[in-house]
Every structure is written in C-alpha cells, then in structure tokens.
Amino acid sequence: MGYAENLLDRYRRIDALVEQGIDGERVAAENARRGMEEQYPGIREQVFPSVRKGPANDAPYLGPYAAADNFGKAAPKPSWRDRAQEAMGWAARVAAEVAAARDMEALAASLTEIHSKNLSSGKFQIGVRFPSAELGYHLSRMDPRKRAEFVEKVTSLFREELAFVLDPENGASYED
C-alpha cells in the first residue's frame, strides 16, 4: 500500500525533528511520529525501505553489514550508581579539605606563641615565636598551598591578639 508523497514528506520532517530536535521539540515529534505510525501502518517502511522489521524479534533489520552494539547512537547516559559514586567522591574530597584546614588551624595554634607587653620606654611590643626545629619539620612536608594556609592561620591568631590588646576594655591606654 502506497501513501501520498505529501504524507511521506510530512513523516520525513517529523522523523528529522526526532533525530535532530531539542528537548521538548524532540518529545513532541516522537509523539507525532508514533501517532502517524499507528494511523498509517507501514509508513516507516515506505519512507525508509532499508529499515524493515525482522520476523524473529521485530527489531529493525539494518542489513548483513550493520555494526552491533552502539553504532549510530548517542553515548550512553551515566547511571544513577555512577552519579552517586561521583557525588560521594566529591563529598570525600570536600571532607578531606575541611579536615586539612582544621589540622592546619590546630598546627598553627600549637606551634605559635604570641606575646605582647608594654615596654618601660612607653612602646608596645608584640611578638610571635615558633619552635624552629618543629616548625622546620612541618614546613618541609607542606606544599605551597598548605604553607599559605598555615601563614593565614598564624596571621589570624596575630590579628586576634592585637585586637584584644588594643581594645580599651582590656586595659589598653594611649596616654603619655
């Protein structure tokens, strides 16, 4: 049974949208194509004569030289399992970074001694001390990013001490 050429052209345009359209356009075209195939049985075989259904499994017959597996199809979408593993890997990396930052903060607090005092000359002195051997040991095992984090933590401790000492509520006086 042969269908009119204008009907076959319409089917070709809808089929092209199914193959090349985007999201909603593709879904609408799939529905339209399915409707035409139900209304006009055999239209697909008339438009595409090389695609015919095989008798055993009703799968499209692509000829004796067709490639098996994923020929001509889009790459497979990742499964939920793959996505979950990716999310768990990301969470583990974030947790490791947080733990490293906490370790760096604890290391800075344990190695750093900050002393402040008013000198008899009327000047204020604040100093930072580190045990050199222990500091050298830890610095030799840090990459540049970790060293920058360590410096930031020590600077933060110094800022806190300076703010405490300079606060008038804590007994700071600026009179001669």
The mean per-residue pLDDT over the stretch 23-39 comes to: 89
What tens digit of pLDDT does each residue of 43-96 get? 888 888 765 554 544 555 555 555 555 555 666 677 888 888 888 988 888 888
Residue 29 makes CB contacts below 8 A (sequence gap 6+) with: 14, 15, 17, 18, 21
Number of C-beta neighbours around residue 146 at 10 A? 17
Predicted TM-score of the model (pTM): 0.43
The C-alpha angle 19, 25, 29, rounded to 5 degrees, equals 60
The per-residue pLDDT for range 81-135, each reduced to its tens digit, is 888 888 898 888 888 888 877 888 888 888 888 888 878 887 878 888 888 888 8
User: Which ranges of 21-175 does DSSP label H, i.e. alpha helix?
Assistant: 23-39, 43-47, 80-111, 132-140, 144-166
Measure the CA–CA gap between 154 and 100, rounded to whole angstroms: 15
Give me the residue spans of the domains in the chain. Answer: 5-61, 102-170
